[in-house]
Structure 1
Amino acid sequence: MTGYSRRTKLQIERSQQMTNAIQPLEVPEFSVEYTPTKIEIHDYENLERAVQAYSHRYSDIVVTDDTESEAKDIRAKLNKLSNALDDRRKEIKKQYNEPYDAFANDIKALQATLAESINPLDTALKELTVHQRERRQKHVEELIIEMAPNYEVSPDDIEIDSKWLNKSTSKKAVTEGVAAAMKLIKAKRDKLDTDILTIEKYAKVQKVEPAGWVDQLKQGQDVEYLMKAIDNEVEQQTARKREQEAKAAEEALHQESKGNAIVDTNTGEVVSKSVTLKIVATIPQMNLLKSFMDSNGIKYMRVGA
């Protein structure tokens, strides 16, 4: 490797090592000597006849209070025969499995040797995947911060789509996805601003306080529904006002003024009183107060400036 720097030589050597490391790996050809084992019960017919005879002998036993003890004894003896057969089966199975168990242990030992290399690689690859995803996350966050001013949105308004963090998603696709999300948020915000202006103007025309209706709009209610609701509210206020005026007119027939109070001539009860208040409030608060007094038939007038 004449003509290369020491650093370049090391890089070439590492590259060659990695190239060798990723060459196809094959298990060396090996054979397994395996002779299928035949399991045969000698004199099976005689054993079968004996078992059938025992079974038939006691198949018609009638169990009563008088034969309970005998029945239990017979059952115990038959169970003993059945258990003896099963014990013999287990013994043969153990002997039958011994060659396979030895073979399986040999294979597992070889796999354990490979696992010494597989496990660290698996752990390292998982850690690398996490780091790569974190880098992609950081890239997306920086991209959002960079693009947000162009769409007049706040970076905090953008929820990162998990697809943007996938290794298979190209940077172009991520950029397009972020742009689409920002356009959607901008469109929704612009629509909300327009709808708020519409409701505020409509509420002003109907002489109602818009704040509560605007809050409903921000919570997702649509403009058409709110305009109908405002109409309904105005109708109810008008109806209440008429009822109050009619009631007041009727009551006025037997009321008289005494000083700053109005007294019911039938009962002597003070039914209303005139007071002067100095109220300090913001304009929105004052509008709310006015709306409340109007809807409840409270009379008022401006005094002074």
Structure 2
Amino acid sequence: MNEIAQFEVNNLPVSYKPAEIEFKGYDDMKAQIDELTQSLKSYEATPQDLKQAKYTRAKLNAFRKAINDRKLEITRQAERPIKDFKNKVKTLTAEIDKSSTKIGDEIKVYEKKAKKERHQKNLEHIKAMCELAEVDAKQIDYDSRWDNKTFSKNAFENAVDRQIAVLVQQKETYAQNVKVVSQEAEELALPVEHWLEELKIKPLADILQAMYNYKADLNKIAKTQHETRIKEQKELVQKGDKLINPTTGEVKEKLSVIRLEVQGTRWQMEQLQSFLKDNGITYRGI
């Protein structure tokens, strides 16, 4: 590795001098072309001298091409040392790149291993802290930046603590909401399991409103069924101990007679009479 220190870019063994191109006849040629240009300013091609005009234009184009070709040739000659120098430098840098890449690949192996170890340690820390807080470690939103060696330990731990605090609060809120939903389900005489599942994905207010609406729908259905049943009972005709459809003669129900003695307050008796009447049950005093 010490050999690298011996190389100094500033002392690269290369000497150069700017390319020098001497265009000695430029002024004379410029003067001739200026004179030619001036003489052709008022020139106009006519049908009579069209052949001569084409000849003149061809000579001008040939002259221009000769100048430009000479320019390209001189430029190529002047750039040849530069091209050769670039190729040599490219050879040197390519060889250096090969060594640098090899070392870089080896560094990546160790950096990847170190990053994996940091990740594992972070997971262990998260698991331990979540166990203390009695929350699920899988609910922690892992930030990939935590695995970087530039990410400080304090910043990582603070970020985890903030997420755990949120999870603890959510857990406490959920437990309280479960209690509320369970109490409401009991009061409304509804199975609680479905509503607890809904509580996992919906706000408490929405769940309670849905429970009230569902109970109201059940009551409405029960009332409709009850009214339909009473109406059907009233349309039947009693023959002996049977209720018969007067239109079809079909026996729909068989009557039962129960003798019992009832004891209660006046209000309770009124409620009982109302119930019997509402349900189409005939009764008489004994």
DSSP-derived class of the 1:234 partner = helix
- 1:234 is matched with 215
- 2:185 is matched with 203
Matched, 1:190 2:168: no
Alpha-carbon distance in 1 for matches of 2:167, 2:20: 74
Matched, 1:140 2:122: yes
Alpha-carbon distance in 1 for matches of 2:20, 2:243: 118
Q: Which amino acid aligns with 1:133?
A: K
Alpha-carbon distance in 1 for matches of 2:154, 2:9: 43
- 2:112 is matched with 130
The answer to whether the 8 Å contact 1:255/1:262 transfers is yes
Q: Which amino acid aligns with 2:110?
A: L
1:226–1:171 CA distance, 2 compared to 1 (3 A): same
Shift of residue 272, structure 1, vs aligned partner: 8.5
Matched, 1:36 2:6: no
Alpha-carbon distance in 1 for matches of 2:123, 2:138: 10
Q: Which has the larger radius of gyration?
A: 2
Shift of residue 267, structure 1, vs aligned partner: 4.2
- Equivalent position to 2:228, from 219, 238, 247: 247
Matched, 1:171 2:153: yes
Shift of residue 134, structure 1, vs aligned partner: 0.5
Which segments of 5 or more consecutive residues in structure 2 lack a partner in the other structure? 46-57, 255-286
1:211–1:105 CA distance, 2 compared to 1 (3 A): same
CA offset digits 1:156-209 (Å, max 9, x no partner) = 333422232121222233333333323322322222122122111112111222
TM-score (norm 1): 0.59
Alpha-carbon distance in 1 for matches of 2:244, 2:190: 32
Shift of residue 270, structure 1, vs aligned partner: 7.7
Alpha-carbon distance in 1 for matches of 2:32, 2:249: 123
Shift of residue 57, structure 1, vs aligned partner: 9.2
1:27–1:239 CA distance, 2 compared to 1 (3 A): same
Identity %: 20
The answer to whether the 8 Å contact 1:263/1:271 transfers is yes
The answer to whether the 8 Å contact 1:254/1:266 transfers is no
The total of aligned residue pairs comes to: 233
Alpha-carbon distance in 2 for matches of 1:272, 1:115: 100
1:270–1:208 CA distance, 2 compared to 1 (3 A): farther
Matched, 1:181 2:166: no
- 1:279 is matched with none
Alpha-carbon distance in 2 for matches of 1:212, 1:242: 24
Which segments of 5 or more consecutive residues in structure 1 lack a partner in the other structure? 1-16, 59-76, 274-305
Q: Which amino acid aligns with 2:168?
A: K
TM-score (norm 2): 0.63
Q: Which amino acid aligns with 1:33?
A: Y
